[in-house]
A = this chain, B = another copy of it.
Amino acid sequence: MDVRTICLGILTRGDATGYEIKKLFEEDGYEHFVEASFGSIYPALNRLTEEGYVSVRSEAQEKRPDRKVYSITPAGRTAFVASLLKPLPEDRHRSPFVFAMLFADLLPGPRVTAMLDAYIHQIGEKLAHLNARVDASKSSGERFVADYGRTVYEATLNFLRTHRAEIEKQQPAQAAE
């Protein structure tokens, strides 16, 4: 899902500035499945404006750059829905952690333990973040996705906690053949 489509999607829920769109990514539970940086959001919004999928109004501010508030246009709404109706790209899950676990036997035991601890902690944080904002979900889709995230994170944590010994009990090994 490219940044343009993501911006359009967020704007179907209400007007926002580029800055706010970025915040919504990080705070509103979107960050588990999509991400984007300012370097891609601002150009995307400019292009969407040129194409007529969004409109802008500038709100002058003192001592700060003008806020540029974007609204999705009817054409934008149509284009957004159309992009969801055509075949979706496949999921991409890239997990350096899981990749590393594949080679646990080449790593020192304590390092594997530390990696597991760190990863479990990290997932725990994400789960806590999701639980912290149960209330805020408005549409049925948002609630569904939040519950989905919770379920997956919980299953992950549970697996890691109950199975970690299987790769930890290796004695510290050097990268030997």
A91 touches B94 (CB 8 A): yes
Residue of chain B at shortest CB distance from A106: B81
Interface residue stretch chosen among A39-47, A52-60, A145-153: A145-153
A33 touches B98 (CB 8 A): yes
Q: Contact partner of A101 among B103, B141, B167, CB < 8 A?
A: B141
- Which of A12, A96, A152 is most buried by chain B, counting CB atoms within 10 A of its CB? A96
Interface residue stretch chosen among A61-69, A82-90, A128-136: A82-90
Number of copies: 2
CA distance A81 to B112 in the complex (A): 12
Give, as a whole number of angstroms, the nearest-CB distance from A165 to chain B: 10
Q: Contact partner of A91 among B34, B95, B105, CB < 8 A?
A: B95
Give, as a whole number of angstroms, the nearest-CB distance from A142 to chain B: 6
Hey, which bits of chain A sit against chain B, CB under 8 A? 1, 6, 9, 12, 30, 32-35, 77-78, 80-81, 84-85, 88-107, 111, 115, 122, 139-145, 147-148, 151-152, 154-156, 158-160, 163, 166-167, 170, 175
Q: 4 tightest CB-CB pairs across the interface, nearest first?
A: A155-B155, A104-B141, A88-B96, A151-B159
